[in-house]
Chains A and B, each alone.
Chain A
Amino acid sequence: MTLIAETDYGTPAVAADEQVTLTIDGVAVTVPAGTSIMRAATQMGTQIPKLCATDSLASFGSCRLCLVEIDGRPGTPASCTTPVAPGMAVRTQTARLAQLRRGVMELYISDHPLDCLTCAANGDCELQDMAGAVGLRDVRYGYDGANHLAATKDASNPYFSFDPAKCIVCSRCVRACEEVQGTFALTIDGRGFASKVAAGMAEPFLESECVSCGACVQACPTATLIEKSVIEQGQPEHSVVTTCAYCGVGCTFKAEMRGEEVVRMVPWKDGKANHGHSCVKGRFAWGYATHRERILTPMLREKTTDPWRQATWEEAIARVAGEFRRIQAQYGRDAVGGISSSRCTNEETYLVQKLVRAGFGNNNVDTCARVCHSPTGYGLNATFGTSAGTQDFDSVEHTDVMMIVGANPTDAHPVFASRMKRRLRAGAKLIVVDPRRIDLVRTPHVAAAHHLPLQPGTNVAVLNAMAHVIVTEGLVDEAFVRDRCDPAAFSEWAAFVAEPRNGPAAAEALSGVPAQAIIDAARLYATGGNAAIYYGLGVTEHSQGTTTVMAIANLAMATGNIGRPGVGVNPLRGQNNVQGSCDMGSFPHELTGYRHIGIDAVRESFEAAWGRTLDPEPGLRIPNMLDEATAGRFKGLYVQGEDILQSDPDTHHVAAGLAAMECVVVQDLFLNETANYAHVFLPGSTFLERDGTFTNAERRIQRIRRVMRPRAGMADWEVTVAIAQAMGLEMNYRDASEIMDEIAALTPSFAGVSYAKLDEIGSVQWPCNAAAPDGTPVMHMERFVRGSGQFMLTEYQPTDERSTRKFPLLLTTGRILSQYNVGAQTRRTANVLWHEEDRLEIHPADAEQRGVRSGDWVRLSSRAGETSLRALVTDRVAPGVVYTTFHHPMTQANVITTDFSDWATNCPEYKVTAVQVAPSNGPTEWQTRYEEHAQQSRRILAGAAD
């Protein structure tokens, strides 16, 4: 194993049809027109010295190291800013150039600490490399002149330090913040010799707008911006390419290691989802893997009021198998089930559903996508024929109009948000449909053309009204509809949306969005060029979640915005493997590849492979499991990698369901909230400790690769195999690749997927089979998967959850950049510095009415329950709407949310809860009791396992 060193071409690649041939140092080289001389030289194998250039950033031309000579041209132009020309003859090494470069280096080094041997970047410093490359032997100016060596170091950021004494003011960090991340948090303060890099208004990094994405650190050619982990641990000695385990963007990283110790995670330039960019979670928040609260030994207890007792793997697995068999014998075959996790791999989720269907003998398997994107599956399947987003992320480069509905990409999908911002800065137009003023509505150099701040629960009304405008103003793409869609369904739909009750005026009355804004947004979406819709849980987590997905699909079909780059319908998946867990047959009614369990031929293929007869009837969804548990019929649950007590709605109901079970098995990294009600705890493994694949929001299947041994001794998939074997179900896999081989053999859309293929081409987007051996970046190009696109009638139905005199406000929930889902991982990293607690955002008018100021404790109550948290008064939310996150268990935002859910999928209606807010003195009695119960539940008896 070696450290992967990526080639830095100095300037970005240029896409051009015209090719240009030139000679560099006498060697002919052909490159696309517009390519820099520097890049062309690197491509032919010649490294021109450089400091301010790097291929993730536009050329800048400030360091003057990359000078070259060009025959017939005067002077020594910078090779980074000079494009190639036909017949050009370039010389990169001459006596004159050598003298100039040494002179430049002398100036740099005369104001640079000469502490290379003790510098953290020793061995990974471009300044050091360039000193060697130009043959620097002396600094004629000495070191006693004016300098910056006494500049104060900024160590405020928990993950990296900024040492201005080592800064060469190349501006790579500033440009990375602008061009790559799009935050514009850094600048060059001052002029001339006084120029220096500054965060915000010359504030410490932690207090500035910096979002800690790490782009500046990655771009820095010296030790000025450097990871604290490198300072503490030293330079890595090998690296392994793997995939981030946080959000659905699926960034690829190089895990840079010393032995089994991670030194840093560096975004991989060849990663097709992230192209070398990262966010604060993937880049820095991996320390939970070695957090002291990791549970590394299986644990058992008879009753949930008992303390935990450590056990061996053998004893724990035997307990699970024995208890599940006992429960089935006592209460019936259907009394047990399992929940898989979008935080786990495809292989692991596949095995959980296999264990349930073939081992438990029922279909009581569900996954956490139930509570996020299950409506996407139903809605897109009904309209397009398959349950997935239509595009790759690169598609956004061809987009002219982005419509973001119920999503907050800068917080929840930050790396893709940076791509969006770059495209928006380049001129694409933006429509935001969201009750809250998300950052993208107005952020540096980006402003939405239209923000439709609708009342929670009125998505369908607004989208129908947009459709009304498109149909009644003749903006339908008639040719697309005629060629690609079901004509009868279109006619019926067009007549439906054209009715006045679906028009903008009616929608204004329902949603509060001015009719003219809806009209303008519809016109822009329909006529602005390539229009793409990106949506999130603000669409799905409603009683009409599925209807909204269909309404989105209708808009895309009506305007012909489907089936080519730049357009499409793109669900932004919350967790890393939401797409994959859905693909893998985790829902109770369907097997892998979204095929219903009741289809005989499909079921029989699995029966033949697994050697068991399968139940043709759908099993229980998560909420159904909890209902059945409280009814006394569901007694045993295997939960892999999920924390349903914190993440699922109506905490009281979830707790009651769990408490009614006789054997709850939790497999996780930490004693999560669900484990408070567990009888068996099986230690989980992090993404660093196992092999497998994740499938991101663009259907891209990517490898995760083990970089250290499982700290608890077993990878997650091995634990499921052990349970299966203990229950008499044959599961024999030598490694995770054999699980994928089985998936591929049983799933037409995965038929061409193998670890060998993924190793060869890096990643692949399903469908990947004989018809598409290298995968499918854009779906529905020639025809929809279902044949003709199906317009669906999307009647607006107000939710049953209404604001009342008692609960006059509407609560909607969401995420924040630094935290991930229930926070089990990110709360155990320094990311808590940015989000120590969940806060309630409340509009100034509502706050004033209640005498609430920012920082005050407030009691948030609904018909389901109440909790207390601190308020943040802000006009980001509209009057009548309050907002909070659900990252902290002691806030338990889900004690407020109700059991209302989507009509088709039972996805909870997290986004609409009628609430009241009142001043409070601190945590509620329930919170205090909850904390005491959690502490009691986490007691572990001293002593090791037998």
Chain B
Amino acid sequence: MSQDDKLVMMANQIGRFFAAQGEARAVPAIADHLRKFWTPRMRAAIIAHAAAGGAGLDALPLSAVRTLAAAAAPV
């Protein structure tokens, strides 16, 4: 399994846990989890993957990753 595939799998697993809380709460919760527990390099990799179309990423983690990307983008 490639690094990107592994990160996608992990993000989807996280997404499936928070999905029960509904999208409005799940998306920031997933983003918060990635921010607290993933290294900057892992976050950068998943952000880049999402930017490239996010193949394999479920909807909620994809939204969460885009939230991260927006927060990381220069103002």
Residues of A at the B interface (CB closer than 8 Å) are: 334, 496, 543, 546-547, 588-589, 596, 598, 617-620, 624, 627-628, 631, 633, 793-795, 797, 800, 899, 903-906
Contacts and interface: CB of A to CB of B under 8 A. Distances in A.
A903 B16 contact: yes
Q: Top 3 nearest A-B pairs by Cβ distance?
A: A903-B13, A793-B20, A795-B20
Contact of A589 (B1, B3, B37, B42): B37
Contacts of B33: 904
Interface string B2-40: 010010011001101101110000000000010011111
B1 to A, nearest CB: 8
Contacts of A617: 39-40
A618 B20 contact: no
A662 to B, nearest CB: 19
Interface of B: 1, 3, 6, 9-10, 13-14, 16-17, 19-21, 33, 36-42
Given A627-B6, A903-B10, A904-B33, A618 B38 contact: yes
Given A627-B3, A631-B3, A903-B10, A618 B36 contact: yes
Contacts of A619: 39
Contacts of A334: 39, 41
Nearest to B17: A903
25 contacts: A334-B41, A496-B20, A543-B13, A546-B17, A588-B39, A596-B36, A598-B36, A618-B36, A618-B37, A618-B39, A627-B3, A627-B6, A628-B41, A631-B3, A793-B21, A794-B20, A795-B16, A795-B19, A797-B13, A899-B1, A903-B10, A903-B17, A904-B14, A904-B17, A904-B37
A906 B33 CA distance: 13
Given A619-B39, A795-B20, A797-B17, 8 more contacts: A543-B13, A588-B39, A617-B40, A628-B41, A797-B16, A899-B6, A904-B33, A905-B37
A771 to B, nearest CB: 27
Given A627-B6, A904-B33, A620 B17 contact: no
Contacts, number: 50
Given A631-B3, A793-B21, A624 B39 contact: yes
Contacts of A899: 1, 6
Nearest to A795: B20
A904 B3 CA distance: 18
Contact of B39 (A543, A598, A620): A620
A624 B20 contact: no
Contacts of B41: 334, 628, 633
Contacts of B40: 617
B27 to A, nearest CB: 15
B7 to A, nearest CB: 9
B43 to A, nearest CB: 9
A415 B68 CA distance: 48
A795 B37 contact: no
A83 to B, nearest CB: 57
A459 to B, nearest CB: 14
B57 to A, nearest CB: 15
A624 B19 contact: no
Nearest to B6: A627
Q: Is the interface of A mostly helix, strand, loop or mixed?
A: loop
B26 to A, nearest CB: 10
A793 B21 CA distance: 7
B4 to A, nearest CB: 11
A596 B32 CA distance: 13
A604 B36 CA distance: 18
Contacts of A620: 39
A905 B38 CA distance: 10
Nearest to B19: A795
A547 B39 contact: no
B14 A903 contact: yes
A795 B36 contact: no
A416 to B, nearest CB: 31
B10 to A, nearest CB: 7
Nearest to A621: B37
Nearest to B18: A793
Contacts of A906: 10
A619 B41 CA distance: 10
Contacts of A633: 41
A546 B13 CA distance: 12
Contacts of B19: 795
A431 to B, nearest CB: 26
B61 to A, nearest CB: 11
For A588, A617, A631, the residue with the greatest tally of chain B CB atoms inside 10 Å of its CB is A617
Contacts of B1: 899
A633 B13 CA distance: 25
A456 B38 CA distance: 28
Contacts of A793: 20-21
B9 to A, nearest CB: 8
A619 B42 CA distance: 10
Given A793-B21, A795-B20, A624 B42 contact: yes
A810 B1 CA distance: 22
A619 B38 CA distance: 7
B54 to A, nearest CB: 19
Contacts of B6: 627, 899
B3 to A, nearest CB: 6
Nearest to B2: A631
Contacts of A628: 41
A146 B36 CA distance: 78
A793 B13 CA distance: 15
A161 B16 CA distance: 58
A649 B40 CA distance: 25
A143 B3 CA distance: 82
A793 B19 CA distance: 10
A899 B40 CA distance: 22
A547 B17 contact: yes
A794 B3 CA distance: 28
Contact of B17 (A588, A589, A631, A795): A795
Contacts of A794: 20
Nearest to A628: B41
Nearest to A493: B20
A589 B62 CA distance: 23
A894 to B, nearest CB: 18
Contacts of A588: 39
Nearest to A630: B3
B67 to A, nearest CB: 17
Nearest to A905: B37
Contacts of B37: 589, 618, 904-905
Contacts of A631: 3
Nearest to B1: A899
B20 A589 contact: no
Contacts of A627: 3, 6
Contacts of B20: 496, 793-795
A620 B43 CA distance: 12
A589 B16 contact: no
Contacts of B17: 546-547, 795, 797, 903-904
B65 to A, nearest CB: 16
Contacts of B42: 624
Nearest to B16: A797
Nearest to B9: A800
A822 to B, nearest CB: 26
B29 to A, nearest CB: 11
Nearest to B40: A617
Contacts of A903: 10, 13-14, 16-17
A596 B35 CA distance: 11
A374 B23 CA distance: 27
A589 B10 contact: no
A598 B37 CA distance: 10
Contacts of A547: 17
A635 to B, nearest CB: 15
A786 to B, nearest CB: 16
Contacts of A624: 39, 42
A334 B10 CA distance: 22
Nearest to A543: B13
A543 B21 CA distance: 19
